[in-house]
Structure 1
Amino acid sequence: MPTPLNDDEETMTRVLVVGSINMDLVVEAERYPRLGETLFGERFASYPGGKGANQAVAAARLGAQVSLLGCVGRDMFGSQLKDALRAEGVDISRLREADVATGLATITLAEGDNAIVVVPGANHQLLPQHLDQDEQAFRDADVVLAQMEVPLATVERAAELAERHGKPFLLNPAPARSLPPELLARTALLTPNEHELALALDADGGDWQALLRRLPGRVAMTRGKDGAYFCRADGGLHHQPGFTVSVVDSTGAGDTFNGALAAFWPQGIEAAMALACAAAALSVTCSGAQSGMPTLAALQDMMKEQA
């Protein structure tokens, strides 16, 4: 059984996250309004979000020493999000502020489904030159983790700086898109779901196992409750089964998986995948994205029960 990290600072993985920070505004209603119609909603709530912030919180809760490179606006949401990250123990000393609105997602829940509008805002103000100015963060990290909610050029520079300083670069290719060959070549581990894998490799569907083997040793693909798959360097397929839990809310499970992979990266990919799948399973037993992410103690308890 893989052993989770402890809270000794000398053994904590230093994770640098390069990514997005959003405020999620959630409205629940009985149904969706028709065009031009005004409805009374049933509930409203706001939650810290954004894939970068989510994955940073997940890694921090699991015992990693986390720094977040991102951008918020000089507004109320920016202040609230910084406070939330600080409370989770994430180092926000490298966060930038821009004279645009903080990124946000407006989410309407109705009729058992959701409709989402994302306004990137300050997230699209995180530029390659900002990473150059914070190059020391790449020197200090053990692992670099990024997603695709900031400009592609910024993600590419993050991969270049990680490579320059000999640090593994983990990339969660979400939202899904085709990825440049140079970026794929610099990525130590790509962490897509099945749909994202096909788009990342610019493939028109096809057998996902064959797609995994196009990047042997460098893809960990998630498949929901089925767990995750990793293609070894020799082409062999490793399957990490999912963990059986009672699902309350699957929001944030993928971000928990990625944050955990980064936190446990020093234990090796197969051990890290086991812990990441367990952490993701724990996250779906609670409501909310960041609010449902497990602590290190909760993960340790789960792994003991599974032993």
Structure 2
Amino acid sequence: MSTPISQARARRWQLLSFGDPVADIVIAASEPPALGEKVVGRPLGMLAGGTTANVACAVARLGLSSGVFGGIGDDAPGQLLQDSFAAFGVDTSHLRRTQGAASASAIVIVTPSGEKSIIYQPMDSAPLDSLQLKAALAETRVVYAMPYDLEQFDTLSATARAQGTLVAIDLERAVAPDGEAMRERVSRSDIVFFNQSGFEAGAGCAPSFDAMRALLALGPKVVVVSLGAAGAMAVTDAEQAAQAVFPARVLDTAGAGDSFNAAFLAAWLEGARLRAALAFACAAASCTVAAMGARTALPDRATVESVLARHQGRDE
């Protein structure tokens, strides 16, 4: 089992993101095209993204040390991704750059409501360097992953636990589309984040405290579900909490879930109680949706705390 958070020794990084960063080609459109149809779009540029990479940047923005374990190509998008990490202060000593390879990319269609549709093109897979992975995990308190590849994730989880490193994962419907896939991944993790559709796909029911608590029997210490405009919920063996969203002008929801997860982890790693960590996460997400791009409005700690101060006493 992993070392309890409160007992973890001092390490180089509070969080290590595992996975390749993604260059987002962002297009504004009135709505995504239906199959066989065409819509007119307006280019908004190429922006640095990728779920796990966004979390590393968000954690760094909140004042915690973070690093990235993944790969980029030697193309222009790869340079964009590396430059973005540098701007946020994310350590890239375990970010490999592969000659002749194309970086991971995504076409992101954003509607006027701020909702998005995504087509994702990953990098060509490369075998894990087990010695490099072990060295990296020995220097971090928590590794954060989106575990599409179960075999790879099994290696990551086993290596992390051998190093006393906590494992946090993000489970969307595309990652775990059924109960078996969900259980296999949850059982290898310490902190599990779902969005609502991901929870419903894996658990076969709507999110509830009872349904979330049932997943704790598989091994994780914390289960968190973000509910979009309905807020968020979280459970541990000892606590449960729900939090409403904080008012925000929504321009783009890209990165909101990543900002939420990063802020929850930042608060949790610092010893916050469940309710306080959930409120901190919802406040961070409310800041992120106010600008176009997943990382454009990632908030610093003072900004999140100012949101909390303005809405002090806000109930579930």
Question: Which category describes the TM-score, using the shorter chain as reference length?
Answer: 0.7 to 0.9
Task: Tell me which residue corresponds to 1:242.
Answer: 245
The CA distance in 1 between the partners of 2:232 and 2:81, in whole Å, is 31
State the shift of 1:207 in Å: 5.8
Partner residue, 1:164: 162
Q: Select the residue among 287, 292, 299 that pairs with 2:292.
A: 287
Maintained 8 Å contact 2:23/2:81: yes
- Give structure 1 stretches of 5+ with no counterpart: 1-9
Structure 1 equivalent of residue 3 of structure 2: none
Alignment of 1:205-284 (within 5 A): 205=205, 208-216=208-216, 217-234=221-238, 237-266=240-269, 267-268=271-272, 270=274, 271-284=276-289
The one-letter code sitting in structure 1 at the alignment partner of 2:283 is: A
- The RMSD of aligned alpha carbons is 2.9
Give the equivalent residue in structure 2 for 1:176. 175
- Alpha-carbon shift at residue 104 of structure 1 (Å): 0.5
Q: Show the counterpart of 2:138.
A: 139
Counterpart residue identity of residue 222, structure 1: S
Tell me how far 1:260 sits from its aligned partner.
1.4
Cα separation, 2, equivalents of 1:176 and 1:272: 25
In 1, are the aligned partners of 2:196 and 2:207 still within 8 Å (CA)? no
Q: Does the alignment pair 1:197 with 2:199?
A: yes
Contact 2:251 2:290 in 1 (8 A): yes
**TM-score, structure 1 normalization:** 0.83
CA deviation after TM superposition for structure 1 residue 34, in Å: 9.5
**Further displaced range: 152-161 or 91-100:** 152-161
- Following superposition, the deviation at residue 69 of structure 1 comes to 0.5
Query: Is the contact between residue 199 and residue 207 of structure 2 (CA under 8 Å) also seen in structure 1?
Result: no
* 1:233 shift after superposition: 0.8
Residue 297 of structure 1: aligned partner: 302
Q: Is the 8 A contact 1:12 1:63 kept in 2?
A: no
The corresponding residue for 1:69 is 69
Instruction: Give the unaligned 5+ runs of structure 2.
Output: 1-9
CA-to-aligned-CA distance 1:84-119 (integer Å, 9 cap, x gap): 111110001101123431000123456877553211
> Per the alignment, in what secondary structure is the counterpart of residue 138 of structure 2?
helix
The CA deviation at 1:181 is 4.1
- Could you tell which deviates more after superposition, 105-114 or 81-90? 105-114
Q: Give 1:97's aligned residue.
A: 97
Deviation of residue 164 (structure 1)? 1.1
**Is 1:116 the equivalent of 2:122?**
no
Give the Cα–Cα distance (whole angstroms) in 2 for the partners of residues 262 and 111 of structure 1: 30
- How many residues are treated as equivalent by the alignment? 291
For residues 82 and 105 of structure 1, what CA distance do their matches in structure 2 show? 17
How far is 1:11 from its partner? 11
User: Residues 189-215 of structure 1, C-alpha deviation per residue, up to 9 Å, x if partnerless?
Assistant: 110012212333xx4335644421212
Q: Alpha carbons of 1:89 and 1:96: their partners in 2 closer, same or farther (altered >3 Å)?
A: same
Deviation at 1:13, TM superposition (A): 6.4
Letter in 2 for 1:265: W
Distance of 2:293 and 2:54 partners within structure 1: 11
- 1:52 deviation in Å? 1.4
CA distance in structure 2 between the aligned counterparts of 1:255 and 1:294, rounded to whole angstroms: 12
Deviations 1:164-205 (A, max 9, x none): 1222211111343143645422311110012212333xx433
User: Out of 182, 187, 190, which is 1:188 matched to?
Assistant: 190
- Cα distance change on mapping 1:256 and 1:12 into 2, 3 Å: farther
User: Does the 8 Å CA contact 2:24/2:47 hold for their aligned counterparts?
Assistant: yes
Q: Which residue of 1 aligns with 2:5?
A: none
Q: What is the TM-score normalised by the length of structure 2?
A: 0.80
